[in-house]
Amino acid sequence: MAVREHRYRITVEHLATPREDQPLRGTLSFEDGNHDDLFRIVELQRASGRFGNDDEAAAFAIGLKLLSEAVLRNRDDPLLQQLKAPIGDFIKQLKAQGAARSNPDA
């Protein structure tokens, strides 16, 4: 059977702490899926010029896509149901602005 989503391994490495007396934590790694190509989404956000640097753009894109996919998968959860419409509206606006930037004469 074919995979119906993109599969990813997400890895977070703890590089520094705000205080010297705090220990570094180990690496957190997990697998997740998404209906979108996350690499393409990151490219679009990096190209948007909205963020201060490429790392901010990548963090925004990955964070938003992980959150929105979790909300979709758990749509029966009453708490997460509250996020579905606002996230959907936000993503529509984000896509519309991206389309307007890539097509300024339209």
What pLDDT is stored for residue 102 in this prediction?
Answer: 64
In whole angstroms, how large is the CA radius of gyration of the chain? 17
CATH of domain 6-102: 3.10.20.850
Cβ atoms of 55 and 39 within 8 Å: the answer is no
The C-alpha atoms of residue 39 and residue 18 are separated, in whole angstroms, by 30
Distances (CA, A) of 21 to 13, 16, 72, 95, 102: 18, 11, 40, 43, 47
pTM of the model: 0.85
DSSP state string for 43-88: HHHHHH--SSSHHHHHHHHHHHHHHHHHHHHTTT-HHHHHHHHHHH
Spell out the domain ranges in the chain.
Answer: 6-102
Q: What is the pLDDT of residues 23-80, one digit of tens each?
A: 999 999 999 999 999 999 999 999 999 999 999 999 999 999 999 999 999 999 999 9
Residue 97's pLDDT band, with cuts at 50, 70 and 90, is confident
- For 11, phi and psi rounded to 5 degrees? -125, 130
Q: What pLDDT is attached to residue 13?
A: 97
* Distance (Å, whole) CA 57 – CA 48: 9
Confidence at residue 50, expressed as pLDDT on a 0 to 100 scale: 93
Residue 103: predicted pLDDT:
63
